[in-house]
Chains A and B, each alone.
Chain A
């Protein structure tokens, strides 16, 4: 359950619409079930009353939507940002991807968002989901009601939440949290302890399921190129299909390199993957390496910071040290 109630968000949005602070609201729209909410734009109090949703399935990170939404007109758009979304928001500002003046950002505390696929692992035919006292109950078509511990239904990005602190907002609803000492690199450490062959087999198993739908890239706030090289028939590397079993890895590894130092670890890539590939682990490996090589760095923690991989200092690690370390891990 989320700390702030839906009504608080709706009332705030109505207030900002009516006093002219904003002319539209980026929010979550009601679906057919409790878990299938869709990002969308609201322009009136009536639309907010009938369709606005806030709850445990509002995981979508709106930061990237601002790139297109702010380009549509002169008016300001209201956006709700969860703590992890604010890092993407700052990172996009650092990269000059949208006009800050055209946005009114409301920070919303987040208690972690549920992953419906975790429920679907042990309950089928889910007609509704509700929560009380840390227990989530799913009403199913054939097995009656099934109850789960809320914590067991959190995706990795939430069970290992890196921060409850909002690093950007115009106004904050509720109270702010702290940057957390999470276990988000635990899984990466497990992978590092594998032999090279074991690690190769792990990624082979995961990435061989890839269907190249590009959802990971299309949702990624660090992927905002006007024309992706993989969509450009003239680039020579466009591949709608993998010519061999290595190509899926190539796509994902190249993408991880491309967002290295800019990925805020928001976890949207893994959330949207229809094949449940833990793509965020690739990004976390890069983040962990950057932390170890150059000192701790969190992309999006502030606007305008220079990522270590695009910066030079005399303390930087020497290429030979990196090579040596790579050989040790081989």
Chain B
């Protein structure tokens, strides 16, 4: 384990920046946001960023390919290029876990080469949560905010940042900062973990359980009468899906440039009325069906197809951002019955 004094964070960021494009969470007018580090940006003290870091691997929009049309000939132009190495600093335990969930979708056969390209070049420097928010419930899904995963795992104490490599990519990054970091034992980190664990136990959502949900529960919940009340106020906007670190649905569309076509993909939302529209129309006609789809996917369908792994990481962004304050916590409490008190 290595450490560096907090007043030397700039030196650390500068050293990382020499080999990687570095992004850190920094405060903006609209809350904390991952921004490219140029030298002036300061590390945010916010509990987490407003938007998740999924954009680094699965951006909101990206060009997939171009078509050039001349007469009766259509030329397909591959627009892919090798991504440069980049590092994302300060990723929380919940968001690190979200990459596993996205990997199972995008890196399963057929592999998504656009996603894979970024994933291979991205280094995740995680940061344990010193102050989990009142909306946090990552522990519900077995995530430990005190001990995040990641290529390099960091703990921030009052005066120092402790860093430990956990992967080959992480070792490589740490070797780039070996001159400015020093060896450290784990005493301070152990104390920090204990502090975080005590705080996690006191969170308002500490008792929330996902035990009622998971693999094979489709028939138990699909026709539950509670969906009607839960979805009645839903506006059908895409806020929850767009701030969610694990929502991975997208649409592929063509943009006519006049002399060719740009084929791009963009995030889509199962809450939208035109989601997955087919020749026969949108398969889910009512907002109840669309709403149910989102939560069944997180709590039942995904775990059914992925060895019981839930596709919610309890980051609490939807809890904070839904315009009508309906969210997965309320859904779990309503449908989970006695297991959620």
Contact = CB atoms under 8 A, between A and B. Distances in A.
Interface of A: 31-33, 36-41, 60, 65, 124-127, 141-142, 209, 211-215, 217-219, 227, 231-233, 238, 240-243, 271-272, 274-277
Contact of B243 (A41, A238, A274): A274
Contact of A38 (B31, B131, B233, B239): B233
27 contacts: A31-B330, A32-B204, A33-B204, A38-B324, A124-B131, A125-B133, A127-B204, A141-B132, A141-B134, A141-B203, A213-B238, A214-B238, A218-B236, A219-B237, A219-B323, A227-B273, A238-B274, A240-B251, A240-B267, A240-B268, A240-B272, A241-B253, A242-B61, A243-B262, A274-B239, A276-B30, A276-B31
B233 A274 contact: no
A241 B267 contact: yes
Nearest to A31: B325
The residue among A127, A241, A274 with the most chain B CB atoms within 10 A of its own CB is A274
A233 to B, nearest CB: 6
A217 B324 CA distance: 14
B131 A240 contact: no
Pairs A-B, 8 closest by C-beta atoms: A241-B266, A272-B323, A36-B325, A215-B237, A241-B61, A218-B235, A39-B233, A213-B238
B232 A213 contact: no
Given A37-B325, A38-B326, A127-B134, A275 B47 contact: no
Nearest to B203: A141
B237 A214 contact: yes
Contacts of B277: 233
B233 A240 contact: no
B22 interface: no
The residue among B205, B236, B323 with the most chain A CB atoms within 10 A of its own CB is B323
B324 A39 contact: yes
Given A31-B325, A231-B273, A232-B274, A65 B233 contact: yes
Interface string B223-240: 000000100110111110
The residue among A37, A38, A240 with the most chain B CB atoms within 10 A of its own CB is A240
B50 interface: yes
Given A124-B133, A215-B237, A240-B251, A41 B232 contact: yes
Given A32-B329, A277-B30, 18 more contacts: A31-B325, A32-B205, A36-B325, A38-B325, A40-B232, A60-B324, A65-B233, A125-B47, A127-B134, A209-B30, A211-B60, A211-B243, A213-B237, A218-B323, A240-B266, A241-B267, A272-B239, A276-B31
A217 B323 CA distance: 12
Nearest to B323: A272
Nearest to B273: A231
Contacts of B319: 32, 36
Interface in B115-160: 131-134
A231 B199 CA distance: 44
B321 interface: yes
Interface in B170-226: 199, 202-205
Interface of B: 29-31, 46-47, 50-51, 60-61, 131-134, 199, 202-205, 229, 232-233, 235-239, 241-243, 251, 253, 255, 262, 264, 266-269, 272-274, 277, 319, 321, 323-326, 329-330
B203 to A, nearest CB: 8
A122 to B, nearest CB: 12
Contacts of B264: 241, 243
A267 B93 CA distance: 36
A9 to B, nearest CB: 18
Contact of A126 (B132, B134, B251, B267): B134
B323 A124 contact: no
Contacts of A212: 238, 242
A218 B47 contact: no
Contact of A231 (B203, B272, B324): B272
Contact of B134 (A125, A217, A243): A125
Nearest to A125: B134
A65 B229 CA distance: 14
Contact of B255 (A60, A231, A243, A276): A243
B134 A275 contact: no
Nearest to B277: A233
Contacts of A271: 323
B46 A124 contact: yes
A219 B235 contact: yes
B257 to A, nearest CB: 9
